Amino acid sequence: MIPKAMFGSTGHESSRTIFGAAALASVTQAEADRTMETVLEYGLNHIDTAASYGDSEVRLGPWIERHRDEVFLATKTGERGAAQARDEIHRSLERLRTDHVDLIQLHNLVDEVEWRQALGPGGALEAAIAARDEGLVRFIGVTGHGVEVAERHLQSLERFPFDSVLLPYNYVLMQNTDYAASFEDLVAVCLERGVAIQTIKAITRRPWGAKAQDRATWYEPLDDPETIALAVGWVLGRRDFFLNTVGDIQVLPLVLEAAAAFRERPSPEQMLALLEEKEMEPLFT
């Protein structure tokens, strides 16, 4: 079983490994049902999806209908206007077959123009707050990709007391000194304010490049137990972080096994050897 920790200031003890339901974007209902049974076997009690993750919300719906009280359920809206975000939140509730989600997140809010729109008058944040006031959502978070995301999240936290942030974190990306510095600045603020820190892209190896894509992930992942254990252990070694799982149902069990077996963080020497052996490259530059 995977250990749990308090998810920021929400009062919920979430499994430190969160099921990233982007993995269900393009699978059959039978595959989704089997995947969710695996998720339950490992004790995951926190699910993260998004309106834009293909059929993910639809595939989750039947399972959520049966297990709603057992999980902390998060989804995301990528809309920037209030009316559009409101409609998308209602659509997500219908697809997920529930009357509320625990966390609604403003999805990939990094671009400055979109950021100003979403957090400004008539923006998506207004819809999220209204949904919270109506009892349709309990908490509000923000997510993002790219090397500018940590700085943008810091700006977002100055504008509104978000309950959670989500952003990339892995060994190769943290070799970018600028990103590492802004990431740690963000972490300090989150810890001070009780904001939950969710991490993504833990087992990234490198962009696909010219290699034929043979996984559902949009990046080439590490895909053997030994290297996945190192990458997962490196993230979980930060006790205040949550690790969102991989977007491929075939690789997922290896990530869950690594998380369940985690005991201590790999050494810098082990991680440097992994980087060199697997010729790892950052997704974001």
Query: What pLDDT shows up at residue 59?
Result: 98
Domains within the chain, CATH numbers bracketed: 4-277 (3.20.20.100)
**Is 181:27 a contact under the CB 8 Å cutoff?**
no
| The pair of three-digit structure tokens given for residue 79, joined into one six-digit string | 């809309």
Query: What pLDDT shows up at residue 236?
Result: 98
- pLDDT (average), residues 117-146: 98
**Most distant CA pair in the chain, distance:** 52
Which residue is listed with tokens 């996984």?
215
- The 10s digit of each residue's pLDDT in 68-96 is 999 999 999 999 999 999 999 999 999 99
- The 10s digit of each residue's pLDDT in 43-62 is 999 999 999 999 999 999 99
Query: What pLDDT shows up at residue 233?
Result: 98
Which amino acid, 20?
G
Distances (CA, A) of 153 to 25, 98, 148, 197: 26, 29, 9, 11
- pLDDT (average), residues 23-42: 96
Query: Which own/partner pairs from 225-228 qualify as long-range (CB within 8 Å, at least 24 positions apart)?
Result: 225/254, 225/257, 225/258, 227/203, 227/274, 227/278, 228/203, 228/254, 228/255, 228/258
The span from the CA of 215 to the CA of 254, in Å, is: 14
User: Which has the closest alpha carbon to 225: 206, 247, 210, 203?
Assistant: 203
Q: Does the structure show a pLDDT above 80 at 247?
A: yes
Q: Does the structure show a pLDDT above 90 at 209?
A: no
Query: What pLDDT shows up at residue 216?
Result: 83
Residue 213 CA, distance from chain mean position: 22
Query: What does the mean pLDDT of the chain come to?
Result: 97
**Is 66:40 a contact under the CB 8 Å cutoff?**
no
Local confidence band at 155 (pLDDT 50, 70, 90 cut-offs): very high
Q: Does the structure show a pLDDT above 80 at 265?
A: yes
Query: What pLDDT shows up at residue 210?
Result: 76
Local confidence band at 100 (pLDDT 50, 70, 90 cut-offs): very high
Query: Can you tell me whether residue 263 is helix, strand or coil?
Result: coil
Query: What pLDDT shows up at residue 77?
Result: 98
- pLDDT (average), residues 16-34: 97
